[in-house]
A and B are shown apart, each in its own frame.
Chain A
């Protein structure tokens, strides 16, 4: 099937809101090249479970596609039209399984040396869409906060080395009620600008009490989901004929209920939680990976205005000789290794935040939990400098989020 064959009935299997949007824009979808259309449908089919800003983005994209003249369409999609796909891909059920199609398409592009051409076409397309987007001024500056190193008593290596050149490194931050003051600040921001899914708290361990205005996820609270997913993966792997690609297909089809995520939970958030584990690599095993990946996805998808991420110690990787020695021990923690993970996670937090609109106004603070070291980056923070002056974390945050 090619996009030109699409009809309203083609979307009968879509969730209700996604179906309505697809049917409304079927003419625009019919004119898309096969190398591109499933990528858009992959987003569209999940419309009912998308964050508001994602829904808005999809609607704007479809409106933009509707408005293209033939000449513009050729200009926008010439790169995709020059991609050749195999007959088996064209015959794939890409309308109802767009994510699986995109996986297989990626493998095909790699094997036929067309990946670079596809990447370029995709980048050009994204640039054109971005040029059409009208910047929406936010009430608040975006603020990211990473809390790293919980459980580490002493650490002699220099911290935040990569981030230091971008901001001010503080060495004498007061730790009194520090974490509470961070949560208080996030709550105040959420109450002042109560946009759904705009204010987040991700914890690699157990959530601290917080206002219901904040959207939150934690590694500990999702332990049953993780366990359920790992058991399901193991069971699938043991089936004859199962391989990595088949396993990914199985995971892509999972629903929150399949992993015991309660039906009473917000469907958007429950789907987000599911994808953290079914699409993330290592999120099921290491809490630091969970926190980093959740951060990336919260920023990429929800474009959070406030994001507090607290890293907690992950389980220690047992070396080969210990495994061979046998005997199951309680999972030990690796606080120092987790600090190294979290330091890199904080760097990626900042990079991902800088990809969002109005990045020149945004602020970012990373703090070594329980210690006096922090790095603050923002328009008011001098770059590449160090401050040894005594400062409270609350004051530091207010400087960076004003």
Chain B
């Protein structure tokens, strides 16, 4: 019976991914990856590894096919579809077999292991992160790996506590909303709403100690005064726009080789307002395209950067009685576990669709192969179509 259920799930997920592929082929003129037989573009890339940069964007928190790459969702992602997909290798069938909470799922993406930590606890990933492998094996400084994350709950995403890796050896983490809160402490009470940590538990914000050091980072690293930061924030409409602003400053001032940005506006879906969920998707679509344009124009990044865009997971199907459709990601059904991944830039084939099933934990070993490090404790597999 378990076998039957697995088969049904595989078939459902396969149908989902197939509909994406057919749609992309029609809408963006992409070709199926199975038809390509030439070797990986990364094989000839050994000599440029030292300059290789990778930017990972989680298209979050959680979006379904029917609001993105399925035919009825196309109107919500005009930038990704029209501008980015034709340049990208698109993987239609990415599954997340882990826990569908944003922090734990992002930690799983970053370690290449399905983490089982408490989604709402202030804990480090249980396995070494991609940032630790990267820095340790390639002997990179802390300034070369950064995470831009939306909420206080992500402040420990940059490094594990694993012996041989751990504190001081991972990525530096910047929390733009927290910076905004610090910069505006004593300001308007209305800001409380904006600073709420996540939409799953909308009134809960874990407290973090410190603050002064982080504000000093604004000046020392981002070359940005608190006043300028606050002023610019007043021109932005959402936390993810703020994250992009900070990411662009980081790219300009620090030019990290490994930059990880977690988007989160879409997760407003937990409030149950469908229009806000759609707004979040449209905004994230626009921000991804803006980030790609930045990559293409920043001298340190242009021509040598590979960008990955993938949701951390999907959201519940309309038809699972245990859920409430788009609002949450609690059922563990195929819609909530099956996502996609777009890869574009240096070393990738343009305009190709792959429907080979891959898992979200395959990201870390694949990036490792691109950049020249070995994530020894990851349980993911190399994405052969990519590397």
Residues on A facing B (Cβ under 8 Å): 79, 107, 110-113, 115-117, 119-120, 124, 161-162, 230, 233-234, 237, 242-245, 247, 280-283, 285-286, 288-289, 292-293, 296, 314, 317-321, 323-328, 334, 336-338, 340-341, 343-345, 347-348, 351, 355
* 20 further interface pairs, Cβ-Cβ under 8 Å (given A230-B203, A293-B272): A110-B99, A110-B100, A116-B332, A120-B1, A162-B72, A237-B204, A244-B200, A245-B120, A247-B204, A281-B202, A282-B273, A314-B273, A317-B276, A318-B190, A320-B194, A324-B230, A327-B190, A338-B275, A340-B274, A345-B274
Q: Contact at B99–A341, with CB atoms within 8 Å?
A: no
Q: Contact at A117–B2, with CB atoms within 8 Å?
A: yes
Which of A230, A292, A318, A340 makes the CB contact (< 8 A) with B278?
A340
Whether a CB of chain A sits under 8 angstroms from the CB of B184 is yes
Which among A162, A230, A326 has the greatest number of chain B C-beta atoms within 10 A? A326
Measured between alpha carbons, how far is A112 from B99 in the docked complex, in Å? Answer: 9
Residues of chain A lying within 8 A (CB to CB) of residue B324: 293, 296, 348
Which of B120, B180, B238 makes the CB contact (< 8 A) with A319?
B238
Measured between alpha carbons, how far is A120 from B319 in the docked complex, in Å? Answer: 16
Which of B2, B100, B235, B326 makes the CB contact (< 8 A) with A344?
B326
Q: Contact at B272–A283, with CB atoms within 8 Å?
A: yes
Please report the number of residue pairs spanning A and B whose Cβ atoms sit closer than 8 angstroms: 141
Residues of chain A lying within 8 A (CB to CB) of residue B64: none
Whether a CB of chain A sits under 8 angstroms from the CB of B201 is yes
Q: Contact at B116–A247, with CB atoms within 8 Å?
A: no
Residues of chain B lying within 8 A (CB to CB) of residue A336: 275
Which of A234, A243, A283, A286 makes the CB contact (< 8 A) with B120?
A243
Whole-angstrom distance from the CB of A165 to the nearest CB of chain B? 11
Which of B187, B189, B271, B332 makes the CB contact (< 8 A) with A286?
B271
Whole-angstrom distance from the CB of B119 to the nearest CB of chain A? 8
Q: Contact at A281–B190, with CB atoms within 8 Å?
A: no
Q: Contact at B190–A323, with CB atoms within 8 Å?
A: yes
Residues of chain A lying within 8 A (CB to CB) of residue B187: 324, 326
Q: Contact at B120–A285, with CB atoms within 8 Å?
A: no
Residues of chain A lying within 8 A (CB to CB) of residue B321: 355
Name the residue on A nearest B318 (C-beta): A351
Measured between alpha carbons, how far is A292 from B325 in the docked complex, in Å? Answer: 11
Name the residue on A nearest B189 (C-beta): A328
Residues of chain B lying within 8 A (CB to CB) of residue A345: 274
Residues of chain B lying within 8 A (CB to CB) of residue A340: 274-275, 278
Q: Give 4 nearest A-B pairs by CB, closest first.
A: A289-B272, A326-B188, A340-B275, A282-B271
Residues of chain B lying within 8 A (CB to CB) of residue A281: 200, 202, 270-272, 327-328
Given the interface pairs A244-B120, A296-B324, A348-B325, the reply to whether A321 lies near B275 with Cβ below 8 Å is: no
Measured between alpha carbons, how far is A29 from B267 in the docked complex, in Å? Answer: 40
Q: Which residues of B93-150 are within 8 A (CB) of A?
A: 97, 99-100, 114, 116, 118, 120-121
Measured between alpha carbons, how far is A80 from B319 in the docked complex, in Å? Answer: 24
